[in-house]
Structure 1
């Protein structure tokens, strides 16, 4: 009996010593900052500062919103070869120096003017200008007319202005109609012998005068008119 009791006390002392040893080891590990093998990692994540968090959020693209892209320079197409496939190019402007020169004016030097009587309409004459030069010329506006050297030029009918200036190749003709009288009874007709025909340039300035012999018995009361130069006889005599 005594032997068993001594054995029991010895075993209890051994168990107590083992317990004290384990407790001492745990305390040493905790004091040294180590953890026992198999212990769970319960350390909290490092704290994030407010500034770091804001910077991180600003760098990330907003959900559902495309990232901002740099706009390419004007005239260049993004992802292209630098010319943008002709995108953004302005149309080329032709300098004034490359503009076509003005057509020469028909003048007494490169053309010939004649006057003739017509049966219809009555009290009308027909002027014809012919390009006698070797290059094109333009019959601008209407001719200035002077009956028997009068100071004032004959009235021009504005309603007869054509859609375009009549241009004559060498040998071609243009025409202008002359109405000799206005409303009957307003002025007494006076006979005239000669007619001065003044050709004008694109600025409606005189470029020389030709003096023509009028058909016998031509009389005008000063209330008639002359038309603009026309490309055909019918248009010249329709007014």
Structure 2
């Protein structure tokens, strides 16, 4: 009977130990699973926290403003200028003064002058050409005007004795004069013929041919001319022209 009691006690102890062993295993298993779950949770939280924001994947070009309030583009530095082509630099040219108008003389012609033809009482059978500078620059009245009456083929003769000592220069608004002797001595050539139009051409600086724009004038009524007439060189004074 004692033997049965020992045996029963041994079995009970064995069963108790087994129960403790199962409890310990369950505790260790639960603790292990909990530990794994606890370790995984911070990792998942950390992954979400470190993900870049959507804006970071397509950030716009950055611009900053310095302390002076000037906007700077970090993508490209501002262009440099030596100041030669800026509007302000242009205005400062010539010590800041306004550009002076060009006063270089040009050749007088029909584009920058006004020409008029009039009758005179003395000398007889004479006309007077008046050339006035209408431009804004001085002009040179070279030599004598080249004249053609109506449809004449040849230019009217020029009186060489009337050549002035210097080229006539006309400032804007000023005038030069040339006299036209319509006929020569009576009976010295063909009979005078009537004319209604006068073409005036302007001599070139070289003295060869004409230059610029010619003008066409209406002659006074009862104007007659012949091949023995003449025209003078341009003169600065009306009286000088009419002495021939």
TM category (shorter chain) comes to 0.5 to 0.7
Aligned residue for 1:29?
Answer: none
Contact 1:149–1:196, Cα closer than 8 Å, also in 2: no
After superposition, give the CA deviation of every residue in 1:41-71 in whole Å (9 maximum; x if it has no partner): xxxxxxxxxxxxxxxxxxxxxxxxxxxxxxx
Q: Is residue 222 of structure 2 the alignment partner of residue 220 of structure 1?
A: no
Aligned residue for 1:192?
Answer: 195
- Runs of 4 or more above 6 Å deviation: none
TM-score, scaled relative to structure 1:
0.57
- Specify the SS of the correspondent of 1:234: helix
Q: Give the CA deviation at 1:134.
A: 0.2
Contact 2:105–2:137, Cα closer than 8 Å, also in 1: no
Q: Give the CA deviation at 1:221.
A: 1.3
Contact 2:104–2:138, Cα closer than 8 Å, also in 1: no
Q: Give the CA deviation at 1:103.
A: 3.1
Distance in 1, Cα, partners of 2:107 & 2:151: 23
TM-score, scaled relative to structure 2:
0.55
Distance in 2, Cα, partners of 1:143 & 1:133: 19
- Specify the SS of the correspondent of 1:193: strand
Structure 1: gaps spanning 5 or more residues: 1-100
Aligned residue for 1:95?
Answer: none
Correspondence 1:101-180 to 2 at 5 A: 103-180=105-182
- Specify the SS of the correspondent of 1:217: strand
Distance in 2, Cα, partners of 1:149 & 1:221: 13
Distance in 2, Cα, partners of 1:202 & 1:133: 18
Q: Is residue 205 of structure 2 the alignment partner of residue 202 of structure 1?
A: yes
CA RMSD of aligned residues (A): 1.3
After superposition, give the CA deviation of every residue in 1:143-171 in whole Å (9 maximum; x if it has no partner): 00000031100000000000000000000
Structure 2: gaps spanning 5 or more residues: 1-102
